[in-house]
Structure 1
């Protein structure tokens, strides 16, 4: 074994030992809570332990955020064991403990710390003080200046409204083409008796299998103004199929709106190029989902509809689309979230942010953090983006979600008119 690898192996072993110790401590802590949760001094001891732990972290030089997290965590655990678990679900708790520990260390604490930084003026100027002292000044009087500044013009010269509108347009255009073209290709591949379906499916899924960075870099070379394939194709095609009418040269692609252009210096052309690349990358995902859903529909349903006289469009509208909805709605929702947060395509197509005019929210956030070093502002910006994404997701679920049985009101049946009684009929024997 090469001796130069020993430090790395020792570091990995040290990290593994630390993780094992953390897991052992978590299991032991949970076991103690299960043993003594019913004691009358359990909750006061938890509160005292949390306060002592928070003061210890603060005395050790940690920030108020870390100390507060260390103080509140034992208290919350005590309240949860005392008033919710009450000694139940022992087996489930043992299985969940490692996952809860991992989620807390890798997700909950960083999220809370980022929320803490969003209220502070952490930038390149205050970064050294934050490293040395663990303290950073508030942003404004109440720490809300970062959130106010998100909605103002920023250093990139683009207002928040413009970037938000471009992001929504980016998401809608991409998802519409992903779903539409993916469904069309799935319908073609689902044709009964088609030969070479496996080959076609393999070729059509290559954009999804290919590493995204490599695919985007190849596309960026194709959009090069002087030697790129796109401009060369448009130019050669116009030369080959152009013709004259009345002394006027007609170039078909130019007449249809396709012409050679500087794709990277023109903001609208750059945004169009990024959309084309991302559409090409995302179609296979929707195609695979739609094809799987189509193949799960029983053929007997189509046969029964065909016997009843339903045509091709009628079967597609009343059978295919409703049965595709449970699969395509979650897939389109997931695709919308991915597209909304897709940093790679815009970042690489703009040559790591060198070309302006095609930024979406996440790329603008990336510039604020790693180009202008405004970390506190970037933290507030990320929470604003998160809130917008939650609202858009909720709206999409409301518009496309299925109705629950309790939401469907049954139609009230009209009351049947009672026939008049014949003269001399006994009322008690007229109805059974």
Structure 2
């Protein structure tokens, strides 16, 4: 009887082992964490997640039309000698075909060999670094203050976010009136204190200071809101434990606040850098790149080549645009690589 029972148990165990081994040899193998491995092939992915692809398809199509096609067209024009004299155009009932030709990398050679490009690049980098660093420091300071409980905090938040709600070109025109040398409010206030008028937009140095100040004023709300959200996500228990251990305010800020904001800070710095590098409205509407060309950055120079220069150089403008894109892509790749070395993978 005992022998029969032992044989039955052994037989059942053998059947279970066979089933388990057969299941292991099946198409859905288990991974180390117990989850089944995903099926291979694009067809299986489309069949499994067809609804997700259907939802994403309209967005991909729109982005391809409004971003992809202009980008490809711009790269192509940068390899030609297209200008307003040889592109296709219609005059009355007469249609003139395009006569521009493919010139390869000649435009890139000409732009990179032009001292103007390097002058614009140096000022663009200085302008970007100054704006982003000042905006980040002021935004962090304001976010730290608004993260505390005090009377009227909601009103202060609304007042500090207000520049973000106003359209950028409206804000720039308002600042242009404030900076007016003869009738501007700033010079009126200085005149009341016995200080001579400051040529805010008429002197190259003051003009650079003015455009940086306006761009910082426009960028602080975004930086403050993003960093404030990051501050509110840091557990309060960390500050309580550090305070009980005798950590001073600066030590708590250095060892808790800054590490807790690392992910948010890296993201907002990257976005702010890209936006500032291409901040066309502030420069063009405030100073028109002047006085002279002292505040001209790369993107305003590209605009000038296409719409202000005579004849309008579409190929040259496209070349400037492609170089701007290449510089930002290189910066983003280097930035991402540095984050991965620090353990911040995104």
TM range (shorter): 0.7 to 0.9
1:309 to 246, 252, 275: 246
| Deviation digits for residues 177-218 of structure 1 (CA, Å, limit 9, x no counterpart) | 1100011111111123x0010000001111111111111001
Q: Secondary structure, in 3 states, of the residue corresponding to 2:261?
A: helix
Q: How does 1:179-194 map to 2 (within 5 A)?
A: 179-192=136-149, 194=150
2:259 to 304, 318, 322: 322
Q: Give yes or no for contact 1:369–1:375 (8 Å, CA) kept in 2.
A: yes
Residue segments in structure 1 that go unaligned for 5+ positions in a row: 1-82, 240-253, 407-432
Q: Secondary structure, in 3 states, of the residue corresponding to 1:171?
A: helix
- Give the structure 2 partner of residue 28 of structure 1: none
| Post-superposition offset of 1:298 | 1.5
Residue correspondences, number: 297
Q: Give yes or no for contact 2:81–2:100 (8 Å, CA) kept in 1.
A: yes
Q: How does 1:254-293 map to 2 (within 5 A)?
A: 260-293=197-230
- Structure 1 residues 101 and 186: alpha-carbon distance in aligned structure 2, compared to 1, 3 A threshold: closer
| Deviation digits for residues 380-419 of structure 1 (CA, Å, limit 9, x no counterpart) | 111111111112223333445563499xxxxxxxxxxxxx
- Give the structure 1 partner of residue 301 of structure 2: 364
Q: Give yes or no for contact 1:129–1:136 (8 Å, CA) kept in 2.
A: no
Q: Does 1:176 align with 2:113?
A: no
- Give the structure 2 partner of residue 132 of structure 1: 96
- Give the structure 1 partner of residue 83 of structure 2: 123
- Structure 1 residues 183 and 93: alpha-carbon distance in aligned structure 2, compared to 1, 3 A threshold: closer
- Structure 1 residues 165 and 189: alpha-carbon distance in aligned structure 2, compared to 1, 3 A threshold: same
Q: For 1:302 and 1:313, how far apart are their aligned partners in 2?
A: 12
Q: Give yes or no for contact 2:87–2:98 (8 Å, CA) kept in 1.
A: no
- Give the structure 1 partner of residue 4 of structure 2: none
2:116 to 159, 162, 168: 159
1:97 to 57, 61, 64: 57
- Give the structure 1 partner of residue 107 of structure 2: 146
- Give the structure 1 partner of residue 320 of structure 2: 381
| Post-superposition offset of 1:352 | 7.6
Higher relative contact order (CA 8 A, sep 6+): 2
- Give the structure 2 partner of residue 14 of structure 1: none
Q: Give yes or no for contact 1:174–1:279 (8 Å, CA) kept in 2.
A: yes
| Post-superposition offset of 1:148 | 1.3
Alignment TM-score, normalising by the size of structure 2: 0.79
| Deviation digits for residues 236-273 of structure 1 (CA, Å, limit 9, x no counterpart) | 22x2xxxxxxxxxxxxxx7xxxx633222322211111
| Deviation digits for residues 269-315 of structure 1 (CA, Å, limit 9, x no counterpart) | 11111111111111111111111111221111111111111111111
2:273 to 313, 336, 345: 336
- Structure 1 residues 86 and 199: alpha-carbon distance in aligned structure 2, compared to 1, 3 A threshold: closer
Q: Does 1:233 align with 2:189?
A: yes
Q: For 1:266 and 1:231, how far apart are their aligned partners in 2?
A: 14
Q: Secondary structure, in 3 states, of the residue corresponding to 2:215?
A: helix
- Structure 1 residues 261 and 144: alpha-carbon distance in aligned structure 2, compared to 1, 3 A threshold: same
- Structure 1 residues 383 and 344: alpha-carbon distance in aligned structure 2, compared to 1, 3 A threshold: same
Residue segments in structure 2 that go unaligned for 5+ positions in a row: 1-39
Q: Give yes or no for contact 2:87–2:99 (8 Å, CA) kept in 1.
A: no
- Give the structure 1 partner of residue 152 of structure 2: 196
Please, what is the CA RMSD of the aligned residues?
2.4
